[in-house]
Every structure is written in structure tokens, then in C-alpha cells.
Amino acid sequence: MKKISILAAALVLSLSSVFAQTWNWDKAHSQLNFGITHLSISEIDGTFSTVTATLTSSREDLSDAVIELTADVNSLNTGNEQRNAHLKSPDFFDAAKYGSLVFKSTSFKKISGKNYQLTGDLTFHGVTKSVVLDVVFNGTVVNPQSKKTVGGFKVTGTIKRSDFGLGGQFPAAMLSDEVKLNANAEFVKD
């Protein structure tokens, strides 16, 4: 009986991997953005222009999704070259030493309707921390041009720069400790 249970479990695991779907970040229709408050009165926004990400799932509602994302820190852009250079310097991201921002999910849990909770390990500036993000899964559609299935997601959350050792010499009155994360993403099903 024990052998049958082990065989059944192995069959279920192998079938789930056979039916797994892989989705890729659509670079033309996706953005990974951040925002930080400056002098307690205004928000400065930025984006990472070079991002790759995959989503793998065996369920139609993607509730078992595994998401991996990598952003090139050197692609950081706030619309101001002087500020970009400062953010890439050792005062903040130290892009020469830590060139990538990496996220690997540990859980993608359906909360209700289109709302999900994404938990994972975020690594940058040599530090890895678990973060929790809110996700709205806007569903899927077949792109009339490519004929491929596309899924739309809005991801939001907040992290603390102090948790990652970023800009420690700048007090919260100058730059907020909280950094807002915001991604609008389309993933294309392979």
C-alpha cells in the first residue's frame, strides 16, 4: 500500500510539471517602477528599464505561480542623469558591485476575486529580505497580432531602504525610509 501511495504522489508531481505553463515578461508592455518621498513633500519616481521575468504555473488561475524577476541596476532611470548617477553610486545601490536586483517568489496566494498576495525574497545591495506584495491579476486575453495568450498584472508594495542598507547617511526627513514599488506587467504565455 505504501508503494502505491509513493507511486501516486510521483505521478501527480510529474504530471503537474508536464502541464506547467511558462510566461515571460513582455518588455514592450511592462514597467518596474519605484517612488521615494523627497524632503517630506514630493515623490520622486524611477524605473528599471532592463527587466527579465518568468512566471511558471500549472493552474489556470495561476494560484501556484512561481515568479522570478531580475532587473539591471544600471538601467535605473529617474529622468535626471545626475540623480541616476548618484543612485548608482556606493551611496545607494553601488551598481558597480551589486549590478542586479533579484526577486524570487516563495508564495502566490489568491486572496479573493482578482486579488493575490505575492511573497518572495528580494535581493539587492548584497541583502536578501522577504517581502509581501499585493497583486491584481487582470486576467488573460489573446493578443490579436501575435495570437499568444497574455496575462496582465498590477503589483504594489512598500519596502524600507534601511532594510537593504541603502542611503544610510540620508535621514528620513530628506529621503523617506519607505520606498513604494509598482509594476504594471504583461506576461506572454509560451
Q: What is the DSSP letter of 163?
A: G
Sketch the domain layout of the chain as residue ranges: 21-189
Q: What is the per-residue pLDDT for 10? A: 44
What pLDDT was estimated at residue 163?
A: 97
- pLDDT tens track for 132-188: 999 999 999 999 999 999 999 999 999 999 999 999 999 999 999 999 999 999 999
Q: CA-to-CA distance for 158 and 36, rounded, in angstroms?
A: 10
Q: What is the pLDDT of residue 19?
A: 67
Cα gap 119→28, rounded to integer Å: 25
Query: Length of the chain in residues, anyone?
Result: 190
- Burial grade of 142 (CB within 10 A; 0-12, 13-18, 19 or more): exposed
| CB 32, CB 183: distance < 8 Å | yes
3-state secondary structure of 126: coil
Measured at the CA of 183, the angle between CA 161 and CA 130, to 5 degrees, comes to 45
Please give the CATH number for the structural domain made up of 21-189.
Answer: 2.40.128.110
pTM for the model stands at: 0.87
Instruction: Give, for all 190 residues of the chain, the pLDDT tens digit.
Output: 555 444 444 434 444 444 689 999 999 999 999 999 999 999 999 999 999 999 999 998 888 999 999 999 999 999 999 999 999 999 999 999 999 999 999 999 999 999 999 999 999 999 999 999 999 999 999 999 999 999 999 999 999 999 999 999 999 999 999 999 999 999 999 9
pLDDT at 3: 52
At 16 the pLDDT is: 41
